[in-house]
């Protein structure tokens, strides 16, 4: 039996979700020190495969993501004059 052809958007969303999951799991593994970031035997390989590689995949899939995140962070910040209680 043939499987239905997947839409490009659905495949893109699945790849994006897999890259995000990979990044979160790798970051958690490094932060909880289950895997050392640098070791004598492996060098910087764990840090690359657990953080740098999924980040590069995310940037290839969504090149505008850093700009979107910066815009989101700017809108969440309150202006300094509204933070003062005078």
Residues 28-40: tens digit of each pLDDT: 999 998 888 888 9
Q: What is the overall mean pLDDT for the chain? A: 85
* 27 within a domain of the structure (yes/no): yes
* 2 within a domain of the structure (yes/no): no
* 58 within a domain of the structure (yes/no): yes
* 81 within a domain of the structure (yes/no): no
DSSP state of 48: I
pLDDT tier for residue 83 given thresholds of 50, 70 and 90: low
> Which residues 6+ apart lie within 8 Å of 38 measured at CB?
44, 46, 47
Number of domains in the chain: 1
Whether residue 15 has pLDDT greater than 70: yes
**Contact (Cβ atoms closer than 8 angstroms) between residue 47 and residue 37:** yes
**Residue 32 domain boundaries:** 16-73
* 5 within a domain of the structure (yes/no): no
> Which residues 6+ apart lie within 8 Å of 65 measured at CB?
58, 59
* 7 within a domain of the structure (yes/no): no
**Contact (Cβ atoms closer than 8 angstroms) between residue 23 and residue 55:** yes
Return the pLDDT at 21.
Answer: 96
Return the pLDDT at 84.
Answer: 59
Whether residue 81 has pLDDT greater than 90: no
């Amino acid at each position: 039996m043939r499987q239905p052809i997947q839409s490009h958007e659905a495949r893109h969303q699945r790849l994006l979700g897999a890259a995000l999951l990979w990044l979160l799991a790798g970051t958690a593994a490094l932060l909880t020190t289950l895997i050392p970031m640098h070791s004598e035997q492996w060098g910087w390989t764990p840090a690359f495969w657990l953080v740098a590689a999924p980040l590069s995949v995310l940037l290839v899939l969504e090149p505008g993501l850093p700009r979107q995140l910066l815009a989101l962070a700017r809108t969440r910040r309150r202006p300094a004059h509204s933070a003062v209680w005078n």
